[in-house]
Amino acid sequence: MKTILNTIKIDKKIFCSIFFIVLFTSYTEAQVSENAKSEISSKSPEKSSIPVFVNTGNQELDNKTYLEVKNAWIKANPEEYRKILNNKPIEVSKIEFDKMPNEKQNEIKNHPEKYILK
């Protein structure tokens, strides 16, 4: 080891620091992914609970983890997912609303649970 350090002329402290940074970084990324998944699971203790996004500071990893957990939840709970999609209100812009016939405008006004005017 001493000959390697002498050959590349790196101080032992610098070499060890770089080695541990590289080692710790690779371990931390894998651990963050597992921690995020377990945190999502702990926030969703029931099988049918909707997964939540966990921000660990690593946006790319957080998005990937959330997508994996969300897709698994959708596969495990297709009926609940369908209910969520069907209950989502339809957004209608003010410009679109003004162009609609009176009957449609009245339907939108009379059903605020189905429509949101923007």
DSSP annotation of 100 reads S
The amino acid sitting at 33 is S
Record the pTM.
0.40
Q: How far apart are CA 81 and CA 74, in angstroms?
A: 6
Choose between 55 and 5: higher pLDDT: 55
**Of 92, 78, 76, nearest to 106 (Cα)?**
92
Q: How far apart are CA 42 and CA 65, in angstroms?
A: 14
pLDDT at 117: 87
State the average pLDDT over residues 50-59: 90
The predicted-structure confidence for 11-28, as pLDDT tens digits, reads as follows 666 654 555 564 555 555
pLDDT at 57: 93
